[in-house]
Amino acid sequence: MPSKLGWEAPGDPEALADRWVQELDRHGVNRAMLMASVPGDEASVASAVKRHPSRLVGAFMFNPSAPPASGPAPSVAVRLKHAFTELGLRTVCLFPAMHHYAVDNERVREVFAAAEEHRAVVFVHCGVLSVGIRKKLGLPSRFDLRLGDPLGVAAVAVHHPTMPVVIPHFGAGLFREALMAADQASNVLIDTSSSNGWMKFHPGLSLRDVFARALDVIGPTRLLFGTDSSFFPRGWQTPIFEAQRAALTELGASADAQAAIFGGNFSRVFP
């Protein structure tokens, strides 16, 4: 599989964690979020975080509607309690379009309630969803993009006003809706990660424009920088950082605003 993808074999979780921390050191990055991008893989991220607790924050993909492999289904609250307490993970990641459930259904509301109880964070992928590994392997991606609506996220987030809720990739094509959601719910943060290729659906929109509008609507304290780095040998995506820093500098964003976006906000959300 790694050779088909052009990836280096990741090795065990501890070895991969060591490699990522070395990569972060090489680029002067203090802390990062590490996500289990397959449901049920929480333990591997927990191992990595346990190895480098001051450098890595653990997140995991969670499908609240998935049936158990065998036996009676434990409640969403029980499943999440294990991840947040025994495993020490701090963010639950929802992909409604991928797993085919409405973002405001009862089980999602249970996810929000459990995360709030354990002082965790909820991450909800909205908008366009593209999984590079599936494309490389020629696998179909039967996603229902109608289910990834930022306005649905806001409808749930307003009931948990003290808990951070993250919408990644500026809403991934639903930029206006992501800003509306963040304007409606003051606990919604927007993550800036990846190449933001969704801008192709908005002719004439530049990364500078995206940052300008986001800063106008929600200010610098609710933007979380990210790269969406994922495998080696590519490693940490320096061009993503450089493009975003250049856009903010061109925009005239202050040093304080850039410091908040590129690290301060992350440290506040994940002290």
CA distance 259 to 184: 25
Q: What domains sit in the chain, N to C, each tagged with a CATH number?
A: 11-269 (3.20.20.140)
Reduced to 3 DSSP states, what percent helix, strand and coil does the chain have, rounded to the nearest 5? 50, 10, 40
Q: Is the dihedral of CA 228, 229, 234, 240 positive or negative?
A: positive
Kindly give the residue spans of alpha helices, DSSP state H, lying in the chain.
Answer: 2-5, 13-26, 42-51, 76-81, 96-99, 106-117, 132-137, 150-157, 175-184, 207-218, 238-251, 255-259, 265-269
What 3-state class would DSSP assign to 24?
Answer: helix
271 residues of the chain, pLDDT tens digit each: 888 888 899 889 999 999 999 999 999 999 999 999 888 899 999 999 999 999 999 999 999 988 765 556 678 999 999 999 999 999 999 999 999 999 999 999 999 999 999 999 999 999 999 877 777 788 888 899 999 999 999 999 999 999 999 999 999 999 999 999 999 999 999 999 999 999 999 999 999 999 999 999 999 999 999 999 999 999 999 999 999 999 999 999 999 999 999 999 999 999 9
DSSP string across 26-50: HTT---EEEEE-STT-HHHHHHHHH
